[in-house]
Amino acid sequence: GAVVSQHPSWVICKSGTSVKIECRSLDFQATTMFWYRQFPKQSLMLMATSNEGSKATYEQGVEKDKFLINHASLTLSTLTVTSAHPEDSSFYICSANRILGNTEAFFGQGTRLTVV
């Protein structure tokens, strides 16, 4: 199956700093990538849809100025958590749809963010 890679797998940062998470589709091109957040013992919650070459679409309740998304190429989307606070500590996961071919979405392995 297709491979989606996230980096880093885990990160610890100080409150008030910013953290960038990368999501790459390694062997296919993706015009659309999605970002999710998952708190302990909960399901994945869609945060935003990232479209290559255009602005991301955010779900209701997700602050676009806090969670900056950039999708500058067909294989890379980044999520930057700005001025992180402890309540932003979570598991962040991206997924990507292939432009051509089958219709399944492929997920990265996730990034565990801990803000101290």
CA 94 to each of CA 9, 16, 36, 49, 115: distance values in angstroms, whole numbers, following the listed order: 12, 23, 6, 10, 19
Binding window for another protein (CB under 8 A); candidates: 61-69, 73-81, 82-90, 106-114: 106-114
Is the CB of 44 or the CB of 68 nearer to another protein? 44
**Residue 90 interacts with another protein (CB under 8 A): yes or no:** no
d(CA 61, CA 52): 23
**Residue 106 interacts with another protein (CB under 8 A): yes or no:** yes
Shortest gap between Cβ of 70 and another protein (angstroms)? 18
